[in-house]
């Protein structure tokens, strides 16, 4: 939300800042109000060297009285325009050099003991900044380098849809980089959701109740697994009270919005309640996210699974069933119908939902209106001479006028070794070189010319497909994406390193207390992310449960973990 900051004069003659026409200080007696706020600290009579943290600078009327008693005053203020205006009006000239203003989360100091004062009128505009700063005040900075195999990740799946497949890829990718992963599979609720959507007059109310039930199950999974990170995919059911409760424990909640923000506006609710918001769109949306939730948005484009070719074995049909000169796999959005109506005179096969509804496509739909499985999609991409990839549009205009994201099909066709003809955009060119990794088009005549050319030149077509495959495997798999996401989350959330370091130190402490060679050997055989978990340790020693020596060790373990 854009903030308008202006200056007014209070009844007592004091200059006061206005944020969106709402007064930050009393519009009557700003100085007296500031004194009353400062009294909340002063009446506690703390020592002069006690650090004081003030949430909100305003024009300093609540800070000035504190300077008579304290020397370490930190002011948290992310509204840099307010700081600049306060300086320009010279209203804080007498206190500016005596306080430490912090407007960047990376500069928040570790202050395990401090007193705090909040300017409530500023809280509404900086809630996320203040909450994150509060966590960092209590988080000792560490140089500990987290290893992926020390991290527990809970992947929160959507109930159904394309994001469900993406969640599977994400879960597999976290596993591949070494994390210990659990999945919150919400597909069990799909039948209930579909029934509700088709038959209920109270859709919104029932969907909300379903979301609450699934969120309660997520909480139970969270308590059992104790993840460091919960990674939610687009359309995953989220109850914000549960998410807030989880975040208060120190667990990081991330959300990957693998959708078009123009088509799915629910992102604006989600971004308020999580720690990190990953998105796939460039340009305008990046600015919007930064405005809505400063420092929480991160660009993370789509990718491909590096094991797609292997999945083709799960489809038993002969390759010949999928052979075609030209093919398209995807839903029949209006812009795509418009496009293919004008180029359907090829050996063309259409795969996906909606195409069979059109008379002139019926004989080009081998599976009629059937949803396409991943193994089937792989075979389609592999056995089509030319795979056309046309991004969906919000209207009947053939080409998406925004062109600010790359759909997953772009990466998946190449990951299967397929040749791709895709509608051109600047974003695609950030990843792939036209005529080297894939081929682009910007009009129907251009598409037809290129279809004709590449159907006649199989050697060039195959070389381009090979280049695209190699680049995708080397740079753009989900494994690459999750490595990047993990690095972002670790850097943006110092509490994560502290938590993992404390757990690993506890494992070292445990090994020293037990002081048994075989115990340490077995302990080291457990995944590092689970070595601090008593259930995992007990399970590893299952065969020794009747051994008198280890009965004593188990007793010591119970004592060690009593406080947890």
The structural domains of the chain, with segments of one domain joined by +, span 5-137, 148-299, 308-476, 500-560
Q: What 3-state DSSP class applies to 288?
A: helix
Q: Are 371 and 352 in contact (CB under 8 A)?
A: yes
Task: Count the Cβ atoms, other than its own, within 10 Å of residue 283.
Answer: 13
The DSSP code sequence of 342-402 is TSTTSSEEEESSSGGGSGGGGGG-TTTTPPPPHHHHHHHHHHEEEEEE----SSS-SS-SS
Nearest to 522 by CA among 540, 508, 542: 540
> Residue 342 phi/psi, 5° resolution?
-95, -5
On whether the CB atoms of residues 283 and 301 are closer than 8 A, the answer is no
Q: Name the residue among 271, 303, 269, 275 with its Cα closest to residue 286.
A: 271
Evaluated on CA atoms 521, 523, 525, 529, the torsion sign reads: negative
3-state secondary structure of 185: coil
Block residue for tokens 């505009």: 125
Contact 218, 184 (CB under 8 A): yes
The reply to whether 5-137 and 308-476 are identical in fold is yes
What are the distances in angstroms from CA 361 to CA 281, 337, 340, 352? Answer: 32, 9, 9, 12
H helix count then E strand count, the chain: 22, 18
Rounded Cα distance, 418 and 469, in Å: 8
The encoded tokens of residue 243 equal 């998410």
Tokens of 35: 């004194």
Q: Which residue has the tokens 């008379």?
A: 359
In 227-322, alpha helices (H): 240-248, 267-270, 284-292, 308-311
The CATH superfamily holding the domain 308-476 is Glycogen Phosphorylase B; (3.40.50.2000)
Quote the CA–CA distance of 67 and 60 in Å, as a whole number.
11
Question: Can you tell me the distance from the alpha carbon of 166 to that of 465, in angstroms, rounded to the nearest whole number?
Answer: 23
Query: Cα–Cα distance between 79 and 24 in angstroms, integer?
Result: 13
For the domain bounded by 5-137, which CATH number is listed? 3.40.50.150
Q: Which residues of 188-202 are buried (b: 16+ CB within 10 A; e: fewer)?
A: ebeeebeebeeeeee
CB neighbours of residue 444 within 10 Å: 14
Count of alpha carbons within 13 Å of 121, Cβ hemisphere only?
20
Q: pLDDT tens for the chain, 564 residues: list them.
A: 578 999 999 999 999 999 999 999 999 999 999 999 999 999 999 999 999 999 999 999 999 999 999 999 999 999 999 999 999 999 999 999 999 999 998 899 999 899 999 999 999 899 889 988 998 898 888 888 999 999 999 999 999 877 889 999 999 999 999 999 999 999 888 888 887 878 777 877 888 888 889 999 999 999 999 999 999 999 899 899 999 999 989 899 999 999 999 999 999 989 988 999 999 999 999 999 988 888 899 999 999 999 999 999 999 999 999 999 999 999 999 999 999 999 878 999 999 999 999 999 999 999 998 889 999 999 999 999 999 999 988 777 899 888 899 999 999 999 999 999 999 999 999 999 999 999 999 999 999 999 999 999 999 999 999 999 999 999 999 999 999 999 999 999 988 999 999 999 988 888 888 888 888 888 888 999 999 888 888 788 776 666 666 666 777 666 666 555
Q: List the strands of the sheet with 297-299, edge to edge.
A: 180-184, 152-156, 229-233, 252-257, 276-279, 297-299
What whole-number distance in Å separates Cα of residue 403 and Cα of residue 37?
51
Contact in structure between 501 and 142 (CB atoms under 8 Å): yes
CATH 3.40.50.2000 describes domain 148-299: yes
How many angstroms separate the Cα of 459 from the Cα of each of 96, 449, 462, 465, 466? 70, 17, 5, 10, 11
């Amino acid at each position: 939300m854009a903030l308008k900051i202006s200056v007014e004069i209070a009844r007592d003659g004091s200059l006061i800042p206005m944020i969106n026409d709402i007064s930050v200080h009393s519009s009557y007696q700003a100085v007296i109000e500031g004194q009353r706020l400062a009294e909340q600290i002063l009446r506690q009579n703390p020592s002069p060297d006690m650090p004081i943290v003030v949430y909100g600078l305003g024009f300093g009327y609540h800070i000035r009285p504190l300077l008579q008693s304290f020397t370490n005053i930190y002011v948290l203020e992310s509204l840099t325009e307010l700081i600049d205006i306060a300086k320009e009006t010279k209203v804080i000239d007498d206190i500016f050099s005596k306080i430490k203003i912090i407007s960047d989360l990376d500069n928040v100091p570790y202050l395990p003991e401090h007193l705090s004062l909040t300017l409530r009128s500023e809280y509404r505009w900086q809630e996320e900044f203040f909450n994150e700063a509060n966590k960092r005040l209590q988080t000792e900075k560490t140089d500990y380098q987290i290893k992926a195999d020390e991290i527990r990740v809970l992947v929160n799946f959507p109930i159904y849809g394309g994001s469900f497949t993406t969640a599977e890829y994400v879960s597999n990718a976290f596993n591949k980089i070494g994390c210990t992963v659990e999945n919150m599979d919400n597909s069990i609720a799909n039948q209930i959701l579909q029934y509700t959507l088709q038959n209920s007059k109270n859709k919104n109310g029932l969907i909300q109740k379903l979301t609450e039930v699934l969120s309660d199950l997520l909480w139970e999974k969270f308590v059992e697994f104790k993840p460091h990170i919960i990674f939610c995919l687009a359309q995953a059911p989220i109850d914000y009270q549960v998410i807030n409760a989880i975040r208060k424990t120190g667990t990081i909640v991330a959300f990957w919005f693998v959708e078009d923000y123009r088509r799915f506006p629910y992102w604006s609710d989600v971004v308020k309640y999580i720690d990190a918001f990953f998105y796939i769109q460039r340009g305008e949306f990046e600015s919007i996210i930064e405005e809505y939730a400063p420092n929480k948005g991160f660009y993370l484009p789509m990718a491909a699974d590096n094991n797609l070719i292997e999945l083709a074995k799960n489809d038993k049909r002969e390759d010949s069933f999928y052979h075609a000169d030209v093919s398209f796999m995807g839903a029949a959005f209006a812009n795509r119908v418009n496009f293919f109506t004008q180029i359907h005179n090829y050996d063309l096969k259409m795969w996906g939902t909606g195409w069979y509804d059109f008379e002139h496509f019926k004989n080009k739909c081998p599976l009629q209106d059937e949803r396409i499985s991943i193994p089937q999609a792989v075979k389609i991409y592999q056995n089509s001479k030319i795979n056309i990839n046309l991004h969906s549009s919000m209207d009947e205009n053939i080409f998406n006028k925004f062109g600010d994201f790359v759909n997953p099909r772009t990466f998946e066709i190449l990951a299967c070794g397929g040749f791709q003809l895709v509608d051109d955009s600047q974003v695609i060119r950030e990843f792939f070189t036209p005529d080297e990794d894939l081929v682009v088009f910007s009009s129907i005549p251009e598409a037809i010319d290129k279809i004709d050319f590449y159907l006649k030149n199989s050697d060039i077509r195959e070389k381009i497909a090979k280049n695209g495959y190699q680049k995708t495997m080397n740079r753009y798999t989900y494994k690459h994406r999750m490595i990047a996401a993990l690095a972002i989350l670790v850097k943006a959330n110092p509490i994560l390193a502290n938590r993992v370091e404390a757990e690993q130190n506890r494992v070292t402490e445990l090994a020293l207390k037990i002081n048994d060679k075989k115990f340490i050997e077995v302990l080291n055989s457990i995944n590092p992310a689970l070595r601090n978990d008593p259930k995992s340790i007990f399970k590893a020693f299952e065969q020794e449960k009747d051994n008198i020596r280890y009965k004593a060790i188990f007793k010591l373990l119970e004592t060690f973990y009593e406080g947890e």
